[in-house]
Structure 1
């Protein structure tokens, strides 16, 4: 029953696309499980710089390093593949806007006080490059093929815009919690922080779901599911961390999904 429905909303995948989709989903799920078990990517509040033997770089430099190349992939896709249908144009635009927003936040919104491990920076860079390049490539493969019988790209544009705006707004709220150079953490307030501790992750997932509906490929849906699994695990760990650090943390505030999880 599920397979015919899937075939109505995705382009027929090649074996290479199926393999890339399975790899992306499994690798993201493994990272999520490791997060839940205490093995974290070495950055942000979960990274103890003194415990890592890997060389360290300032967090701002690291984030610029792994956001800029996938942004350039999006920009280059307009130049290398100027032709294509509306779906391809929307996908290229979404990828470019997504990573441009991240670069903008690193430069003008986020406040940094720590470092990240060099091996983490390289791992994340490779992951984002693979993601952006694969999204573009799988869409190229579909040029000229019959469209899925259920067209979801307009819904995808709406979800993408909701996701990127919601994510930006809650990153802005987070940035207001800390003075420049400060290293202290506070319980976030405002927006959906009153209901979940990681609304920025929730909107990140919504944004990626928008990209999936724009693209309508097996790979894009697999990448979004993998993103949801990883961020779900990371939000669970984040909530647990806040509970351990703040005695007054409101227990009714969930991790990712209001009133549910």
Structure 2
């Protein structure tokens, strides 16, 4: 099993920090997905007030909250070009992919998304921290591979293809969501167009593809660990999103799955 793993990843790092982050990232992000299924939601979007505690909580506007989620990770990616300059094509593309992904999210928050709810600070902080640490650790783990022999199976070029497909698909479906409601409208509607006719969260599907693209570009244990945890989280979040639509709309098409067409 280990020999198969080492055929497509760089040797695991000697850095204890990266080892700890590899385990913590996977466990915490994956557990968030299972928590979503159990009904304990991160409080943003449709579920911003899903877990009332009775105590006073700080509510942010959706726009402020979303900027808080993505800006630190974007800055971490940007800073990596200065901290780890010119360490080879794989490292440069990894830094570019991480930075571009979070820049796109900031751009969407500012110019694409329309908002109808809020976000609780208690949810914004751990999500923001998770993204920031993932961006920082991913670029640092890549730095530690500098000078090491390449993995026997090269996934770099398939990773670029996956990343481009993922980022275009994710942006397109975020755009479809943004034009679903007219100016001043805040009520939710059943999304249509693109892959919305097959799954209710195609933007999550393409975000998963983005992170697998990043993992293939990187080929580090940390990148794959974070991507696998993210997969579990987004599958859990999409599962409860589909349940929410089924509960709110009697005409919701039953054949529309959560995130994987025809499967889940």
TM range (shorter): over 0.9
Q: Counterpart of 1:240 in 2: which secondary structure?
A: helix
How many residues of Structure 1 are paired with residues of Structure 2 in the alignment? 260
1:16-59 CA distances to partner (integer Å, 9 max, x unpaired)?
23332221111112111110011101111112289363111111
1:213-243 CA distances to partner (integer Å, 9 max, x unpaired)?
0000000001110010000011110111100
Counterpart for residue 13 of structure 2: 14
Q: In the aligned structure 1, how far is the partner of 2:263 from the partner of 2:96?
A: 33
Counterpart for residue 39 of structure 1: 40
Q: In the aligned structure 1, how far is the partner of 2:8 from the partner of 2:194?
A: 33
Q: Aligned-residue CA RMSD in angstroms?
A: 1.4
C-alpha change, 1:50 and 1:156, in structure 2 (3 Å) is closer
1:134-167 CA distances to partner (integer Å, 9 max, x unpaired)?
0011011110111111111111000000000000
Q: Report if the CA contact (8 A) 1:139-1:217 is conserved.
A: yes
C-alpha change, 1:56 and 1:257, in structure 2 (3 Å) is same
1:167 lines up with 2:167 in the alignment: no
Counterpart for residue 60 of structure 1: 63
Matching residue within 257, 260, 263 for 1:257: 260
Counterpart for residue 28 of structure 1: 29
Q: Which runs of 5+ in 2 are unaligned?
A: none
Q: Report if the CA contact (8 A) 2:41-2:50 is conserved.
A: no
Q: In the aligned structure 1, how far is the partner of 2:199 from the partner of 2:51?
A: 31
Q: Report if the CA contact (8 A) 2:36-2:240 is conserved.
A: yes
Counterpart for residue 193 of structure 2: 190
Greater mean deviation of Cα atoms: 190-199 or 70-79: 70-79
Counterpart for residue 2 of structure 2: 3
In the TM superposition, residue 121 of structure 1 has moved relative to its aligned partner by 1.3
- Tell me the TM-score normalised to structure 1 length: 0.96
Q: In the aligned structure 2, how far is the partner of 1:221 from the partner of 1:92?
A: 16
Counterpart for residue 132 of structure 1: 135
Q: In the aligned structure 2, how far is the partner of 1:121 from the partner of 1:206?
A: 23
Matching residue within 145, 150, 166 for 2:148: 145
1:159-201 CA distances to partner (integer Å, 9 max, x unpaired)?
0000000000000011111223422011110010011111000
Q: Report if the CA contact (8 A) 1:49-1:116 is conserved.
A: no
Q: In the aligned structure 1, how far is the partner of 2:162 from the partner of 2:76?
A: 22
Q: Counterpart of 1:258 in 2: which secondary structure?
A: coil
Q: Report if the CA contact (8 A) 2:180-2:189 is conserved.
A: yes
Greater mean deviation of Cα atoms: 46-55 or 226-235: 46-55
Q: In the aligned structure 2, how far is the partner of 1:228 from the partner of 1:107?
A: 26
Q: In the aligned structure 2, how far is the partner of 1:48 from the partner of 1:77?
A: 36
Q: Report if the CA contact (8 A) 2:43-2:51 is conserved.
A: no
Greater mean deviation of Cα atoms: 76-85 or 32-41: 76-85
